[in-house]
A and B are shown apart, each in its own frame.
Chain A
């Protein structure tokens, strides 16, 4: 089991904190002239997503988290698992609901997502920054109204609800930014 000391801390290093793989976001050393040195680190827990600060005695060692990220294409959901495939090796991986979490509303078949694996098991699924989805439900807009004054809610094929301009109609495909959940543009077929 690989361990690192506080001297090897740097942003992006993935370590085990409280039994959970975590990513170091910030690291500062506080060293009095006389006495114990400390590291103040800000970490993001990779499963819960929680961001917190830790004060550590310099020189302590931590277990490195066996965490890797890979690009996998979304295949299908079977009601219990969400299945992804490596397009080069055709190897398939099944992610549980907890790993897919909020990403579920942005999963489009064949889209390549970033899957974070901890000890080989998926812990988070990050959808592409932009996805294209069909509008399945929205109020009909008024004819001629093309100005996006406030917009209206639209339900997409995955169940996601986003605000769209009034001119968007059922059956149209729109581009959405998954990081903000905001409408970007209409996609011409």
Chain B
């Protein structure tokens, strides 16, 4: 076991420069830097996210209060927006259990920002400007989820049925589970991850928007086509770099989505997660029309420094921390 850092000191110097450039980018745009808690009494219900938790014991909490390490600062930042913060950004540590590998460390650095009066397309443009300034990329390509599926798999993800997607996944030799998979989103995701992702964003960043409504997460649905949501993702050189939304404002729908997640958790034998009622109450008070995005800073640094593994840009990865 080595006490030495995972990254070279030179890489850490370059990393610091990237962080300074990010801050400069937001200072120039008059976006307020904020610093929200890493721990929270509630957490995300997302079926595919695994949270860390700990117990606070102290004055007023003699019997212990469960606290969750946040998986992204989204809920706290939205509460600030509801309280009238205006445009805000944050660079912080986020925590996701069961994630470790070439592009993952269970503790990682997230850049998240929100722009009032932006929609998803305006924010795609701003993410692109940030990438151009840090990675010196040319302007990104923008395609809808439907367009990429049509282009690379010749199938319409919005109208295809499970049988069609299953046959397609089997034709691409994507595992035995596919034959009995009942979940359309899982089939879409396996096709996206292994067939489409390796082919997009190779020479310039690619923004994909209008994910299926079933994968909306915290994005509002597209009013002109309720089959899709105003959610986008950025991909560049094999790396999934950022995920953003034209944010859902409706507290009733947000609560319904959290409850639907928990129902799915129950069906899959996973523990249900406590719903963040602070967020629901804040949305009830009113979230300004805004778009927000979360971007993996470690991955951005990997791209800027041309490093193949996340450990090469972290001071101490999980095996050394």
Contacts and interface: CB of A to CB of B under 8 A. Distances in A.
Interface of A: 7, 18, 28-38, 40, 53-58, 60
A7 B101 CA distance: 11
Identify which of A18, A54, A55 gathers the most chain B CB atoms within 10 Å of its CB.
A55
A28 B102 contact: yes
A21 B163 CA distance: 30
Identify which of A28, A33, A36, A57 gathers the most chain B CB atoms within 10 Å of its CB.
A33
A33 B189 CA distance: 11
Contact of B194 (A30, A33, A37): A30
A30 B192 CA distance: 11
Contact of B190 (A29, A36, A54, A60): A36
A79 B296 CA distance: 65
Please report whether the interface of chain B is mostly helix, strand, loop or mixed according to DSSP.
mixed
A37 B186 CA distance: 9
B46 interface: yes
Interface residues of B, number: 29
Contacts of A53: 173
Given A29-B101, A60-B177, A34 B190 contact: no
A115 to B, nearest CB: 30
B233 interface: yes
Contacts of B194: 30, 38, 40, 55
Interface in B139-187: 173-178, 185-186
Given A55-B175, A56-B177, A31 B46 contact: no
Interface of B: 46, 48, 98-104, 173-178, 185-186, 189-190, 192-194, 215, 217, 233, 240, 243, 294, 296
A38 to B, nearest CB: 6
A34 B176 CA distance: 22
B175 to A, nearest CB: 3
Contacts of B294: 33
B233 A33 contact: yes
Contacts, number: 63
Nearest to B242: A33
B193 A32 contact: yes
B218 to A, nearest CB: 10
Given A56-B175, A60-B177, A35 B48 contact: yes
A34 B101 contact: no
Contact of B215 (A18, A35, A38, A60): A35
Given A32-B240, A55-B194, A57-B177, A7 B185 contact: no
B296 to A, nearest CB: 8
Contacts of A36: 48, 185-186, 189-190
Contacts of B100: 29
A33 B243 contact: yes
Contact of A31 (B101, B190, B192): B101
Nearest to A53: B173
A37 B175 CA distance: 13
Contact of B243 (A34, A37, A56): A34
A34 B215 contact: yes
Contacts of A58: 98
A57 B186 contact: yes
B54 to A, nearest CB: 21
Contact of B217 (A18, A29, A34, A60): A34
A4 to B, nearest CB: 14
8 contacts: A29-B101, A32-B193, A32-B240, A34-B217, A35-B186, A55-B173, A55-B175, A60-B177
A35 B189 CA distance: 7
A163 B96 CA distance: 58
Given A33-B233, A36-B48, A55 B99 contact: no
